[in-house]
Amino acid sequence: MNAVVRLDELIIPAHLDGHRGQNRTSSPGQLAALDDRSALLAWLARYADTPATFASYRKEAERLILWCTQQHGVALSDLTHEDLLVYQRFLCNPQPAERWVMASRQKPGRNSPLWRPFAGPLGPSSQRQALSILNVMFSWLVEAGYLAGNPLALSRRKRRTVAPRVNRFLPVAHWNVVKATIEAMPNVSHREKLHAARCRWLFSLLYIGGLRVSEICGTAMGGFFSRRSADGRERWWLQVTGKGEKTRLVPATDELMSELIRYRTTCELSPRVPQEGEETPLVRPLIGPSKPVARSAIHEIVKGIFRESAIRLRHQNPELEAAAAHLEQASTHWMRHTAGSHLSGKADLKVVRDNLGHANISTTSIYLHSEDDARHDATASVHRVGWLTQ
């Protein structure tokens, strides 16, 4: 049995390409696509400007159409509710494994002959995520007039009533454990000092700035700038480019600027505030050329801190197993939710919205300096990491 191929290489026989699918609409829709693969590519094209979302959505669409055409023997536009129940069971145990599951834990790239659609069986939360994405896809294909109905609609309603919810942020008590873990990191050798400083700076960015990983990787230190307001005060800001290539200003509080100087000094950079145009990455590798740290590396750094924090919690009190398990589940994106959650209890929600970039900012907002200054003050006055050591 041949290995499956990527979506962009997939050649589907005519009887499985969906041009006569039973779930196709009889009237012309809004898509030029005449077959299932082309329809999926049209849907994915909408997310081309958000690489992380595109990769996640492509993965689930690719898995489904490969399973349909190369294992289940039906076109995607022939799928019924019952077919998708079979697919859900397949997600739990993709077989035959040699065809569907990567043998190497190194996760080879999509161009490698070792690539497979799955790294392993999907757990409950990953299954829910996969089906949620497919539900979005099917709903859009219905809205576009390509499909007559969404075969996931019935099961989607059923799961919504039973799916467990996870609080994907750190309560203050858990956040304090994380801070203590970072402050207790080994700090003897030069490498240890660099690693400890990088962790502290990274978590300062994640918590004070509420930044996404992509924003950290895509921003240079030259993104910091100061602006003097009508009251004569000088405030620092960090300009980042977020989802959909939207630019926003994040308040660089006095604490964040102090942490920036602390990190730069440890890295043997100029202790002065970076100048406009400086291309030094926000977070640097420990050794080698000064280039942005990969997103996967940042995720691993953060996960490592969370794992150490869970160990610390268990050592302090074995009865805190539930709290330790919660810390072990935490991911980098939880820090963004943690920042928003903690700040929302102390500042106006508009401050949180604008800091995290949840709402579109109109083109006239660059003139609303007084509103920005108030947001800066509100953030700086109540939102701090509060590191014990200086």
The reply to whether 62 and 138 lie within a common domain is yes
The reply to whether 245 and 278 lie within a common domain is yes
Structure tokens at 154: 């019935």
Q: What is the CATH number of the domain that holds 105?
A: 1.10.150.130
pLDDT of 372 strictly over 80: no
pLDDT tens sequence across 297-351: 999 999 999 999 999 888 888 788 889 999 999 999 999 989 888 888 787 777 7
Whether 390 is in a domain gets the answer: no
Mean pLDDT across 356-376:
53
pLDDT tens sequence across 24-80: 998 878 889 999 999 999 999 988 887 878 888 999 999 999 999 989 999 999 999
pLDDT of residue 357: 77
The reply to whether 223 and 367 lie within a common domain is yes
Last residue in a domain, options 162, 185, 202: 162
Structure tokens at 189: 């050798």
The pTM of the full predicted model, rounded to 2 decimals, is: 0.57
Last residue in a domain, options 129, 162, 195: 162
- Give the N- to C-terminal CA distance of the chain in Å, as an integer: 61
Q: How many residues does the chain have?
A: 390
The reply to whether 127 and 40 lie within a common domain is yes
Whether 389 is in a domain gets the answer: no
Q: In 3-state terms, what secondary structure has residue 204?
A: helix
Structure tokens at 234: 């000088």
pLDDT of 364 strictly over 60: no
- Which residues have CB under 8 Å from 268's CB, separation 6+? none
Q: What is the CATH number of the domain that holds 376?
A: 1.10.443.10
Helix (H) or strand (E) holding 237: strand 234-241
Looking up tokens 């993709």 gives: 94
pLDDT of residue 40: 94
Q: What DSSP character marks residue 118?
A: B
CA 95 distance to own-chain centroid: 29
- Print the domain residue range for 18: 7-162
The reply to whether 118 and 144 lie within a common domain is yes
239: left (phi over 0), alpha (psi -120 to 50) or beta: beta
- Give the residue, 379 or 74, on which the prediction is more confident: 74
* Range among 107-121, 132-146, 357-371 rated most confident: 132-146
Whether 387 is in a domain gets the answer: no
pLDDT of residue 371: 54
Helix (H) or strand (E) holding 354: helix 349-356
Which range is least confidently modeled, 11-15, 64-68, 203-207, 221-225?
11-15
pLDDT of residue 350: 75
pLDDT of residue 159: 43
The reply to whether 186 and 304 lie within a common domain is yes
pLDDT of residue 93: 94
pLDDT of residue 155: 61
* Cα gap 21→338, rounded to integer Å: 46
pLDDT of residue 106: 62
Q: What domain count does the chain have?
A: 2
- Give the residue, 357 or 115, on which the prediction is more confident: 115
pLDDT tens sequence across 145-188: 999 999 988 764 444 434 344 478 899 999 999 999 999 999 99
Return the sign of the alpha-carbon dihedral for residues 168, 326, 171, 212. Answer: negative
pLDDT of residue 74: 95
> For all residues of the chain together, what is the average pLDDT?
86
